[in-house]
Structure 1
Amino acid sequence: MSHEERLVDIEMKLSHQEDLVETLNRTVYEQGRHIDQLEAMVMKLAEHIQTMRDAGQQPINERPPHY
């Protein structure tokens, strides 16, 4: 294998790795946004449950105390 062929092979591998890193970066960014959205939803649900408890209401589907 000549030096030129080896250089072309290395350049192709580097190009592929750059594409892969960019794809992974986009995936990590999108997952981070999704996690942020889920955390916000959990916070809202927790606040809602706390508000219901403060108002003396029990969450729906909660087992009665005699179970």
Structure 2
Amino acid sequence: MQQIEERLSHLIRTVEELSDIVAAQQAEIDKLGRRVQMLMEREAQREAEGSGGVIYGDERPPHY
């Protein structure tokens, strides 16, 4: 009976540790999701304004 209680205690501790890890990972995923959303909105705004085009090395900017 004591062996079962020890194993159960170990499993409970492991589950709690894994739960903390999953919670931390979810917080990081949420933070990254907000950053991606912000960048997508910023890029959409840039495209709507018509600025932010890519200029290649051998291409002259439009004001030349």
Give the one of 48, 56, 62 matched to 1:54.
48
Percent identity (aligned): 30
Separation in structure 2 between the aligned mates of residue 27 and residue 56 of structure 1, nearest angstrom: 43
Whole-Å Cα distance in 1 between the matches of residues 28 and 6 of structure 2? Answer: 33
For 2:39 and 2:46, locate their aligned partners in 1 and report how far apart those are by CA, in whole Å. 10
Q: What is the aligned-residue RMSD (CA, Å)?
A: 1.8
Shift of 1:58: 2.3
* Aligned residue-pair number: 58
Which residue of 2 is the match for residue 20 of structure 1? 14
* TM-score relative to the length of structure 2: 0.80
Cα deviation code 1:7-57 (max 9, x no counterpart): 111110000000000001111111111100000000000000011111111
Is 1:30 the counterpart of 2:24? The answer is yes
- 2:62 maps to which residue? none
Aligned equivalents of 2:51, 2:33: Cα separation in 1? 24
Within 1, Cα distance between the matches of 2:27 and 2:55?
35
- C-alpha distance in structure 1 between counterparts of 2:21 and 2:38, whole Å: 26
Identify the structure with bigger relative contact order (alpha carbons < 8 Å, sequence gap 6+).
1
